[in-house]
Every structure is written in structure tokens, then in C-alpha cells.
Chain A
Amino acid sequence: MASELNKLTIADASSKLRGREITATQLTRDCLDRIAAAEPRLHAFITVCEREALEQARAADARLAAGNAPALCGIPLGIKDIYATRGIRTTCGSRILETFVPPFDATVIERLRADGAIFVGKTNMDEFAMGSSTENSAFGPTMNPHDIGRVAGGSSGGSAAAVAAYECLGALGTDTGGSIREPASFCGVVGIKPTYSRVSRYGVVAYASSLDQVGPFARSVRDAAIIIRTLAGKDARDSTCSARPVPDYERALTGDVKGLRIGVPREFFVEGMQPEVEKSVRSALKNYESLGASTVEISLPHTGYAIAAYYLVATAEASANLARYDGIRFGLRVNAEDNIALYETTRAHGFGAEVKRRIMLGTFALSAGYYDAYYLKAQKVRTLIRNDFERAFEKCDLIVTPVAPTTAFKIGEKMNEPLTMYLSDIFTISLNLAGLPGMSIPCGHDSNNLPIGMQLIAPPFAEETILRAGDAFERTGAFKPRTPAV
């Protein structure tokens, strides 16, 4: 009980597992015990998979005993409830899928299973990944482990909180506009959104198909690197998934950032952002300079249009992606006198307010007569934003910005102001529009001891640059994340 193996990093746990110092069963037990203790205050999980996890742990132990087990064998992970998991219900944070048990695994789930990873449970999220605080979950919000009066961020808030609170060693999230990076920042953990197409989306419940991307949460950059190596790579079931070979990301972690040119976009340090956020990021930049990197001011002039473009593209795609929840084949059905009424009542009961808002926005944006003015225009803005980054990366190898303008806000604070809520993603959203990889890494805390995240951005498929720079910062020991209050 007091062993607290759940506090190990993945790298340490993996070496102890393979060295037979600990067993996957002990490690999983410690995570499950921690979950039992912390969940009443956190609500990071929608479904805890105790029985399945212990079965997986037994299998992992057998494999570890046989030798040559992969790095993730026996490592307990949290899985955002957006991933299709065969035989385990997958709600996507929605009433409409409350009882849905997929008959198939998402590709990344299949890959993690093949490596012997253990799934301790399905983590809480904003319904259909629509939100920045996990307050839009049909099953209630997730609390921030550093202050249970505050949000964990979103939409992957459950995964971020579970990793921060030692309920698991790592977790999967998804990021459509910042849904990995913002909660990672709020909860003080590492979160990566890889390049669009780097990881298969097959079996990930779609919110906005051209923006959604799979990524991990972990308590160190190295741990995140270990997870994405397993996730990434070509998938015959996802035609948008890249066939580029997957590098050994851990080998990029050299600690050496000498000569690295870091771009600092002036548009990302704006009026009205929390001063401590800017201060922490600037201080991290000083650290990089002391390690031999250089900084250069750059401009991403179309940043101001990113949120508007995002809310047209994302909602348009969502309006079609969510049409399948019609009560006919799976999930909730509320019967009515005819087809149309059945759809109306099912969807009226099954979807929450934010989901309905976005479906309506997207339906409007695609309607006859509006398509050119909204959807098409937004796609053009997207090109401009991508061009901004391309030009910027002529001058630098890496861009560093804050993840969010503020630290974690109070539960309920922004629930009645959707537009203010949307602004939480102002620094993260343009990466999704441009398809770029980005990472949130803890770089400080504010006067309330709430974590502050720094965002590292690289050109497409340059995840190694991000990981190397993030790891180098961790090694300086300039900032040590605090143990959460919960």
C-alpha cells in the first residue's frame, strides 16, 4: 500500500518491471488504490476498469517474465473516453453514448495492447471533446488536482488530472484546438499534440476530422516520447495517416540545444494575459539562452483570425461527424411517432448544450448560401495561418509561447460565457489549423501555486526538436513541478 509505485515515471517503472524489481500487478494495484482514494475529489475517470486492468497486468507479468518485453509492457495508462475500446464502454462524455460498448479497438488502443500496456480506466472529457474545461462532460466535471475548486482544463481534463494526481503513469488525450496542451498546462504535466497525420485517428470518436489528433500525457518529456513512439505510424485504416517512418524519439533526448534558434511570436504575448504566465515563459527562454540556444522575435500576423476560423471549420465538420448519433443503430434512442421526431427527441435528450451549439453553428456555416462566406473563407484563413508558420520557421527551429493566457480558472467561472471559454485556446488553436506539432511542458506556477505551461512548436514532423528542447529544459531543474494538493 505504501509503496506508491504509481508515482514512478514510465521510464523508471519500465526498467524496474523489466529488471523484475516490481511487478505490473503491484504497479497496477497501486494505481487502482490511488484511483479509489482520489476519485471522489477529482472525478478524472468516467469508467474505472479494475478487473480488465488486473487481467492485463497478469498477462504483462507473464510477458515480462519471458523477457524482451516492450517499454510500455505493464505500464498503467488512462485512456480518454473518446477511444473505441473493444468490450469497454466508450461514452465520449455524452449521454447519447452512455451505454455504447464498441465491438472494435481504435488503432492506437490496439498498438498499446500489443505492447502490453494496461488500461486502468476511461478518463473524463468534455462531451465529444467540445470544451476547454471538462465541465461539458455529461457525467460532471473533473477537478484540478492542484485546487479542486478549479477546472482541470479540457477537453482531455480527465487524462491530465489522472496523470498529475498519480492515478496512472501516463494517459491518452486528443487535441483538436488545444485539448491536450491546455489541460496539461492547467494540471502541470507534459502533453503532446503530434503533427496532424502522425498518429492514426481510426477508432477515435471524431469531433473535427481535419483537426483532431491523438497524443499522450505524461509526467516527463521522456515518458511522452516513449508513448508516442508506440502510437505513431502508418495505418491502413486511416487514409490521412502519414507513411513516414517513425523515429526513435528517445534518442532525440540529448540535452543539447546549442545553436537552436527559438522564435518568440509577438502576437502570443498579449494584453490581458496573466502576468505570471508571461514571466514564467520569458524566464524559461532565458534558461534556453543559457544553454546555448538563441531567441528571435517573430511574427505570426494572422493569429488573430485563428479562433474564428477554427469555430467555423471545427463546427462544420462536427455537424456532419455527429449526424450518426441518430438513435437508429447504437447509443441512446428516445422513441417517437416517426423518423424525424425520433431523431429530434433522441438528439435533444442525448446531447448537451455546448454540443448542440456547435452542431447548429456548423450546420449554419455549411448551409446553402453561406458556405462561401463561412466555411470556404475559414479554409482560406487556415492557409494564411499555415503560411505564417512556414515563413516563421525560415528564421527559427522552434517556437515558444505560453499554452494559455491564464492558469486554471474556477469551476463554473466561464460556463455561461462560451466566447470567453473559447479564448482559453487562443494560443493552441492555430497549431491545429496548421497541422503542426506542439507540446505543453510545466515551466512555473502562479501565486496560487497553480501550474503554468509553456508551449513548444515545431515544423511538421519535427517532434524530435520539441522533445529535445523540452527534455533539455527539464534537465536544467530550473522548475520542479509541485506535487498536487489532492
Chain B
Amino acid sequence: MNREAYEAVIGLEVHTHLLTRSKLFCGCSTTFGAGPNENVCPVCMGMPGVLPVLNRRAVELAIRTGLAAHCAIAPYSIFDRKSYFYPDLPKGYQISQYETPICKGGYIDLPATENGEPRRIRLTRIHIEEDAGKNIHGENASLVDFNRSGVPLIEIVSEPDLRSAEDAGAYLRQLRAILRYVDASDGKMEEGSFRCDCNVSIRKRGAKEYGVRSEIKNLNSFRFVEDAIDYEVGRQIEIVEGGGKVAQETLLWDPARKETRPMRSKEYANDYRYFPEPDLPPLIVPAEMEEKVRASMPELPADRKTRYVRELGLTEYEADVLIADRDVADYFEATLPALKNRKSAANWVMTEVLRVARDSGESFVEAVPPAAEVGALLRMVEGQKISLNAAKTAFAAMVKSGKGAEATIAALGLAQVSDESAIAAACDKVLAAEPEKVAEYRAGRDKLFGFFVGAVMKAMGGKANPKVINDILRAKLTG
């Protein structure tokens, strides 16, 4: 199969829960993990006669997301009813936005990778809608939990600008970063707050027209998105290479078998009969409201990256790693006060701190010691009070004990010795014990310098300041 001759064309529709306290159209809590049907009321149960009232915070979060993704915010948009029957859909219709989304256009920039240049992925739209409940199928009965019914979602629709599974993954990670930066979403996929539909087609490299696309529905992790796209692209290429035609169909991803399979037509063949929701007035976003939201926007990942590169002297790669997660970037910045060397702080966060977070399985903020303590530790390295190795030892201890930097250094006796007379004495001892090597060095074997440094450090129990050792040794050997 000649995979290289083909190019994949991929567009994503991402659904993500908005981080509001209450649901989109009623006051029920959105807290995850409540008992079945505890977070419900007549409105989100679709009882006769109830009416929706729009959650203002959800609108603000949608606008924040739109602004972060460079969308145009619609001053006027309406809600529509999308009709279909399903047991988890209490009203028999979902309140969504059809022809007039709250955000139009926009784009998300993907950073450069080993395989390619930075890329701009255009967005089609972002709209607000409500989530449905959840069906739980037992042996003899199905149960429905309506806690999720009415939880606010935004759907972010991209143009078909993605070309590979890796692209899709990079786009999703960038999108998640933005959503977290603007507090729109927590990005916790394990709680079902993220779902993605992928439109996938292939074409001969260089071709202008799109191929027939299939839609893979309801992928709930980045990993599944990448795997499903990879599989689907391969499947489509095989079909075309074999002389066949790709059918326009709706597919489901089976993560266990690692393959896509067509949905039964009953599962998706709906005429949704969209029409304007008569129970809600048009959603008006006055210019002042948009400006107010704009003024409250945090620094976005792209701006932060520019600042890290220009002002802190980090490389693009370092900046990308740090900004990918708002918590990490915030943490990094919290270590900086009183530090001269920003680069070593960046390295420290990227290696030591991220490793601890990754290994712990907890959330970043829960897993790592306070940023101020790491800052204090790095300040001691800068002030040559401890060695870099001592700092690493101390950091590992701090993660375990939860104690501060100073206390840990003291408890472990890691403070560095810079006392010149003590170091000079140790140097004298070493040089006196190795007269032959001293003679060799003076005869021109420069490489032996390292041997002397190591020997002095050993004599000082590893705690001596290496710079002071260097200076003293050099003076003694040349003198």
C-alpha cells in the first residue's frame, strides 16, 4: 500500500463541558460524581410546562473561548431546537445553535514539530448547546441518569485543515490548553467532559478536490482520536488502492478491536428538524459585553510563548513545553522571583518538576512542591550555597516530606562549603599526596586538572564549591 501517495483531510468537531457551577438552563449543580439523578429538577428533566433560562456564565465562557481562538463574536445569535428521540434526551429535542453560532471563524496555531512547520488550523464556528443524560444498560433494563442533562457544552468545529493523526493530536492539545487558559474547561476527559467527532477523507497528494468523507463519532480521548484517524486513513487508502470507493457513512471506533465500524442507520439517520427555540429570546452580545470579557482575558498561550522567548530568553521548544499546560506555566513563573537564571528554572520545571507530576498520577498542582520552595532551592544553587546535585537530592526529599527547601537542605546537610581556607587545606593535602601527577600536569598534561578537582571534592565529602576548588587549584598548580 502506497500510503505516501495520499494525504488525509481531517476536520474535528470537539464537544467540551463548560466550567459553570450550574447547568445551562436551570440552577442544578454540574458537579461530577453525584448519585444518579441527584442533580436534577423539573427543567432538566423536561417536565411539562418548564422553560429554559440561559446561564450567563456559560455565554461568557463561550465568548472567552472564541476570543482566545480569534473568532468573531456574534452580536446576535439565536438558539434552536434539534429534535430526535432518545431516552437520555428528556425534552425530545436538544437546545443548540444551528444557523447562528455565537462565535464564527477564528483559528488555532499549532507549534512547529520535528516533522513540520508551525501551522494555522482554521475554525468554522463555536456554538453553545446543552448535554443529554446518560443511559446505563443493565441485563434486563436500561436506566437513565439525568445529572448530565442540561450541562453546558460548546462545540468547536474546525475546517478540514488537519492532515494526519498527529496533526489532530497537536490540535486537540493546543485547543485543550486554550480552554484551560480561559477557564472554559478543565479538560478532564475521564469525566466525559470531552467528546470529538472526526470527519476523515483522503485524496491523492496534490489533489484539490476533497474525497468522500466518513464521520467517526463520539471519541472520548485524544488517544482514540489519533488511533481512529490512523486506522480510518489506512482503511480508506486500502479501499481506493483496491479500486473501490469510500462510502459516506457514520462510524464508531472500537478501541478494543482497534477498528472503525459503521453505525446502524437507526442510530444516526435523523432529520433534526431544527427551528428557532421559541422559549428563549435572541442572545444579544452588546459591544460593551464583548469588551468587558476581552478585558478580563488572561494572557493566552501564544502570547506567553512570545514573552518567554523574547523576554526570558527561552528557546521555542522550552516555551512550548512550559505553556502547553497553564498550571505548568503559572508554576514556572512562580519560581522566578529573585532568580537571575530563568533558563535553569525552565529546565528545572521541564525535567525535575514535570517528571514528579508525571510519575505521581495526581494532577500537576497536587503532585508538586510549592513553586516558591522550588524557587528558593534554585536561588541557593545560584548563590552557590548548594550544588546542582544537592538540589536534586533535596527536591526528591521535598516531594516525599512536603518540607520546605531550607529545612530540607539543613536536615540533609547538603549545604555547600565555600570556605577558602578549608578548601585550600584540602588542595594542599591532595597535591602533597600526588607529587608525580603534579609534575606530569606541570609538564603539560592538562587533563589531570579534573583528577585533582575530583580528589579535592572527594576529600571535602562532595560538598565543596567546585568553582572555589577550581580557582585555588589553578593558582596552586601554576604558582
Are A236 and B42 in contact (CB-based, < 8 A)?
no
Contacts A324-B91, A328-B87, A366-B273; is A104 near B47 (CB within 8 Å)?
yes
Q: Which residues of B contact A201 (CB under 8 A)?
A: 49, 51
Are A102 and B281 in contact (CB-based, < 8 A)?
no
Not counting A323-B93, A324-B47, A339-B86, a sample of 16 additional A-B residue pairs whose C-beta atoms are within 8 angstroms of each other reads A82-B49, A104-B42, A202-B51, A206-B48, A209-B279, A236-B53, A237-B51, A239-B54, A239-B281, A319-B273, A320-B91, A320-B92, A320-B273, A323-B83, A324-B48, A329-B47
Q: Which of A84-105 contact B (CB under 8 A)?
A: 84, 90, 92, 97, 100, 102-104
27 intermolecular pairs with C-beta atoms under 8 Å apart: A84-B49, A90-B48, A202-B49, A206-B49, A206-B279, A239-B52, A239-B53, A239-B279, A240-B278, A240-B280, A316-B275, A323-B85, A324-B46, A324-B48, A324-B90, A324-B92, A328-B90, A328-B144, A329-B47, A330-B47, A339-B85, A339-B86, A339-B87, A340-B266, A367-B271, A368-B273, A375-B275
Q: Which residues of A contact B274 (CB under 8 A)?
A: 366, 371
Contacts A84-B47, A106-B49, A202-B50; is A320 near B275 (CB within 8 Å)?
yes
Q: Which of A64-97 contact B (CB under 8 A)?
A: 82-84, 90, 92, 97
Docked Cα-Cα span, A209 to B275, in Å, equals 12
Q: Which residues of A contact B51 (CB under 8 A)?
A: 201-202, 237-240
Expressed in whole angstroms, the minimum distance between the Cβ of A75 and any Cβ of chain B is: 23
Contacts A339-B85, A339-B86, A367-B273; is A100 near B93 (CB within 8 Å)?
no
Per-residue interface assignment for chain B, residues 25 to 48, with 1 indicating a CB less than 8 Å from any chain A CB and 0 otherwise: 000000000000000001001111
Q: Which residues of A contact B50 (CB under 8 A)?
A: 202-203
Q: Which residues of B contact A205 (CB under 8 A)?
A: 48-49
CB-nearest residue of chain A to B84: A323
Expressed in whole angstroms, the minimum distance between the Cβ of A307 and any Cβ of chain B is: 19
CB-nearest residue of chain B to A84: B49
Contacts A319-B273, A324-B91, A329-B46; is A237 near B85 (CB within 8 Å)?
no
Q: Which of B72-109 contact A (CB under 8 A)?
A: 81, 83, 85-87, 90-93
Expressed in whole angstroms, the minimum distance between the Cβ of B95 and any Cβ of chain A is: 10
Expressed in whole angstroms, the minimum distance between the Cβ of B186 and any Cβ of chain A is: 28
Docked Cα-Cα span, A482 to B375, in Å, equals 92
Expressed in whole angstroms, the minimum distance between the Cβ of B45 and any Cβ of chain A is: 6
Docked Cα-Cα span, A106 to B42, in Å, equals 11
Docked Cα-Cα span, A104 to B49, in Å, equals 10
Are A209 and B92 in contact (CB-based, < 8 A)?
no
Residue A433 at the chain B interface, CB threshold 8 Å:
no
Expressed in whole angstroms, the minimum distance between the Cβ of B140 and any Cβ of chain A is: 12
Give the number of residues in B that approach A within 8 Å (Cβ atoms).
Answer: 30
CB-nearest residue of chain B to A367: B271
CB-nearest residue of chain B to A331: B48
Q: Which residues of A contact B144 (CB under 8 A)?
A: 328-329
Residue A345 at the chain B interface, CB threshold 8 Å:
no
CB-nearest residue of chain B to A238: B51
Residue A430 at the chain B interface, CB threshold 8 Å:
no
Contacts A97-B48, A363-B273; is A323 near B91 (CB within 8 Å)?
yes
Residue A204 at the chain B interface, CB threshold 8 Å:
yes
Residue A299 at the chain B interface, CB threshold 8 Å:
no
Per-residue interface assignment for chain B, residues 50 to 61, with 1 indicating a CB less than 8 Å from any chain A CB and 0 otherwise: 111110000000
A208, A323, A368, A375: the one contacting B92 at CB < 8 Å is A323
Docked Cα-Cα span, A75 to B93, in Å, equals 40
Residue A317 at the chain B interface, CB threshold 8 Å:
yes
Docked Cα-Cα span, A323 to B49, in Å, equals 13
Expressed in whole angstroms, the minimum distance between the Cβ of B356 and any Cβ of chain A is: 48
Docked Cα-Cα span, A319 to B46, in Å, equals 15
CB-nearest residue of chain B to A94: B48
Q: Which residues of B contact A322 (CB under 8 A)?
A: 92
Q: Which of A240-270 contact B (CB under 8 A)?
A: 240
Docked Cα-Cα span, A204 to B53, in Å, equals 15
Docked Cα-Cα span, A103 to B43, in Å, equals 11
Q: Which residues of B contact A316 (CB under 8 A)?
A: 275
Expressed in whole angstroms, the minimum distance between the Cβ of A72 and any Cβ of chain B is: 22
Are B271 and A102 in contact (CB-based, < 8 A)?
no
B42, B54, B83: the one contacting A102 at CB < 8 Å is B42
Residue A210 at the chain B interface, CB threshold 8 Å:
yes
Expressed in whole angstroms, the minimum distance between the Cβ of B128 and any Cβ of chain A is: 15
Are B48 and A102 in contact (CB-based, < 8 A)?
yes
Docked Cα-Cα span, A102 to B49, in Å, equals 10
Residue A343 at the chain B interface, CB threshold 8 Å:
yes
* Among A82, A208, A237, A323, residue most surrounded by chain B Cβ atoms (within 10 Å): A323
Are A326 and B92 in contact (CB-based, < 8 A)?
yes
CB-nearest residue of chain A to B88: A328
Expressed in whole angstroms, the minimum distance between the Cβ of A199 and any Cβ of chain B is: 13
Docked Cα-Cα span, A208 to B278, in Å, equals 9
Q: Which 6 A-B pairs have the closest CB atoms?
A: A323-B92, A366-B273, A209-B278, A210-B278, A205-B48, A203-B49
Docked Cα-Cα span, A100 to B49, in Å, equals 13
Q: Which residues of B contact A100 (CB under 8 A)?
A: 48
Q: Which of B249-288 contact A (CB under 8 A)?
A: 266, 271, 273-275, 278-281
CB-nearest residue of chain B to A342: B87
Q: Which residues of B contact A371 (CB under 8 A)?
A: 273-275
Expressed in whole angstroms, the minimum distance between the Cβ of B431 and any Cβ of chain A is: 87
Are A343 and B85 in contact (CB-based, < 8 A)?
yes
Expressed in whole angstroms, the minimum distance between the Cβ of B133 and any Cβ of chain A is: 10
Docked Cα-Cα span, A317 to B274, in Å, equals 11
Expressed in whole angstroms, the minimum distance between the Cβ of A322 and any Cβ of chain B is: 8
Q: Which residues of B contact A238 (CB under 8 A)?
A: 51, 53
Are B49 and A320 in contact (CB-based, < 8 A)?
no
Contacts A324-B90, A367-B271; is A102 near B278 (CB within 8 Å)?
no
Q: Which residues of A contact B92 (CB under 8 A)?
A: 320, 322-324, 326
Are B87 and A239 in contact (CB-based, < 8 A)?
no
CB-nearest residue of chain A to B91: A324
Docked Cα-Cα span, A203 to B278, in Å, equals 15
Expressed in whole angstroms, the minimum distance between the Cβ of A214 and any Cβ of chain B is: 11
Q: Which residues of A contact B275 (CB under 8 A)?
A: 316-317, 320, 366, 371, 375
Q: Which residues of A contact B266 (CB under 8 A)?
A: 340
Q: Which residues of B contact A208 (CB under 8 A)?
A: 278
Docked Cα-Cα span, A92 to B47, in Å, equals 13
B48, B54, B81, B280: the one contacting A320 at CB < 8 Å is B81
Q: Which residues of A contact B279 (CB under 8 A)?
A: 206, 209, 239-240
Expressed in whole angstroms, the minimum distance between the Cβ of A346 and any Cβ of chain B is: 11
Docked Cα-Cα span, A209 to B87, in Å, equals 23
Expressed in whole angstroms, the minimum distance between the Cβ of B135 and any Cβ of chain A is: 9
Contacts A323-B85, A367-B271; is A237 near B53 (CB within 8 Å)?
yes
Docked Cα-Cα span, A328 to B85, in Å, equals 11
Expressed in whole angstroms, the minimum distance between the Cβ of B462 and any Cβ of chain A is: 70
Contacts A237-B51, A240-B281, A366-B275; is A329 near B45 (CB within 8 Å)?
yes
CB-nearest residue of chain B to A103: B42
Q: Which residues of A contact B86 (CB under 8 A)?
A: 339
Expressed in whole angstroms, the minimum distance between the Cβ of A422 and any Cβ of chain B is: 21
Docked Cα-Cα span, A367 to B87, in Å, equals 22
Contacts A239-B52, A239-B281, A366-B273; is A320 near B93 (CB within 8 Å)?
yes
* Among A206, A328, A339, A371, residue most surrounded by chain B Cβ atoms (within 10 Å): A328
Docked Cα-Cα span, A316 to B280, in Å, equals 16
Expressed in whole angstroms, the minimum distance between the Cβ of A345 and any Cβ of chain B is: 13
Q: Which of A345-373 contact B (CB under 8 A)?
A: 363, 366-368, 371
Contacts A104-B42, A236-B53; is A84 near B48 (CB within 8 Å)?
yes
Docked Cα-Cα span, A328 to B83, in Å, equals 16
CB-nearest residue of chain A to B42: A104
Docked Cα-Cα span, A328 to B92, in Å, equals 11
Docked Cα-Cα span, A100 to B275, in Å, equals 28
Q: Which residues of A contact B45 (CB under 8 A)?
A: 329
* Among A102, A320, A330, residue most surrounded by chain B Cβ atoms (within 10 Å): A320
Are A204 and B49 in contact (CB-based, < 8 A)?
yes
Per-residue interface assignment for chain A, residues 187 to 210, with 1 indicating a CB less than 8 Å from any chain B CB and 0 otherwise: 000000000000001111110111
Q: Which residues of A contact B54 (CB under 8 A)?
A: 239
